[in-house]
Amino acid sequence: MILKMLGDPTRLKIIYTLSETSMCVSDIAKTLDLSQSLVSHQLALLREAELVKVKRVSRNAIYSLDDAHVLTIFKQAHEHAKHKSK
């Protein structure tokens, strides 16, 4: 399931963005120049896979990586892809 989640370019961009800071859907959408509905859909899939978590702050939902292991998996998958493309 995790590798399937990392196989989508949009989800990879979201994970990379969240590796730098926690953000709400609208900020992620603006940063990546994507629609909020697309980002929301992808975040729901990432939450189901337990790769991201959400915290409610007032009326906002703030997303972040679930834990440091997610970033490790992301980096290893990226390194593997670079190695295979040589």
Position 58, amino acid: S
Contact predicate 52/39, CB 8 Å: no
Residue 83 or 65, more confident: 65
- pTM of the complete model: 0.83
Contact predicate 43/63, CB 8 Å: yes
Q: Domains in the chain, please, with CATH?
A: 2-78 (1.10.10.10)
Write out pLDDT tens, residues 10-61. Answer: 998 999 899 899 999 999 999 999 999 999 999 999 999 999 999 999 999 9
DSSP β-bridge partners for residue 52: 65
**CA gap 42, 38 in Å, rounded:** 6
**CA gap 64, 26 in Å, rounded:** 14
